[in-house]
Amino acid sequence: MAAMPPRAEPPAEWWERLAARLIEALVFGVFYYILFLALWGIFRTVGMSEVFGGRLPGVLAWLTAGLGYAGYDWWAHSRDGRTFGKAIMKIRLAPGDVPSRALLKRALVYPAPVMLMGIPVVNLLAGMLLFGVGLLILIDKPLERGPHDRLAGTRVVKDLR
C-alpha cells in the first residue's frame, strides 16, 4: 500500500495575518511610547532636547522598538512557530522545523523595517516596503506568501492542532 501524502494545511487568510500583526503592533506601540517618553525626559534633562531638531528620542525609540520587534519575531518563531498574535488568531508557520538562520532572515525582511520608521525620509521607504510586502501576500495565490516567507521557505497556515 502506498503511503498517503500529508494533508495540506490551508493557508491563513490575509485578514488573519493582518489581525495578528495588529495585535502585536498594539503591544509594541505601547513599548515604543513608553520608551519615547523616557528618552525624551532623559534628553530634556541633559539639555539635548533639540539635537536633530528634537527628533532624536523618537528615532532612538523607533530603532529600539523595531529591533526588539524583529528580535521577538525571530525568537517566537524559533521557539513555537508563532508569535502571540498568531497564537490568538490560531495561525502558525509551516513547516515546523525551519532553521533558526532562515527565521532570522525572515525577521530581517519583515518586520525589521519597522525600526526605520522613526527616521525622516527613510520612514517613507520603510513604509512603502512594508506595504509592498503586504500587497505581495495578497496577490500570491494560492499560498499567500510574502518575500519574507519565500526567503525562509515558510508559509503561514491555519493551526489545525
Give 118-137 pLDDT, tens digit per residue: 777 888 888 888 888 888 88
C-alpha cell of 93? 508557520
List 117's β-bridge partners, or say none. none
User: Angle CA(16)–CA(25)–CA(61) in degrees, nearest 5?
Assistant: 160
**37 confidence band (pLDDT: 50, 70, 90):** very high
| One-character DSSP codes across 146-158 | -HHHHHHT-EEEE
The pTM of the full predicted model, rounded to 2 decimals, is 0.83
Q: Is 79's pLDDT higher than 50?
A: yes
Residue 99 confidence (pLDDT): 92
Nearest one of 64, 88, 63, 58 to 76, comparing CA atoms: 88
Residue 46 pLDDT: 83
Distance of CA 125 to the CA centre of its chain: 16
The type of residue at 18 is L
Which pLDDT does position 7 carry in this prediction? 55
| The residue type at 43 | F
Distance CA 159, CA 11 (A): 9
Q: Buried b vs exposed e over 132-157: b needs ≥16 C-beta within 10 Å?
A: ebeebbeebeeebbbbbbeebebbbb
- How many C-beta atoms surround the C-beta of residue 117 within 10 A? 20
Q: What average pLDDT does the segment 100-128 reach? A: 84
Q: Residue 6 corresponds to which cell in the numbers above? A: 500529508
The three cell numbers locating residue 90: 490560531
**pLDDT tier for residue 4 given thresholds of 50, 70 and 90:** very low
Residue 112, all three cell numbers: 525589521
Instruction: State yes or no: pLDDT of 138 exceeds 50.
Output: yes
Confidence of residue 157 (pLDDT cuts 50, 70, 90): very high
Average model confidence (pLDDT) across the chain: 86
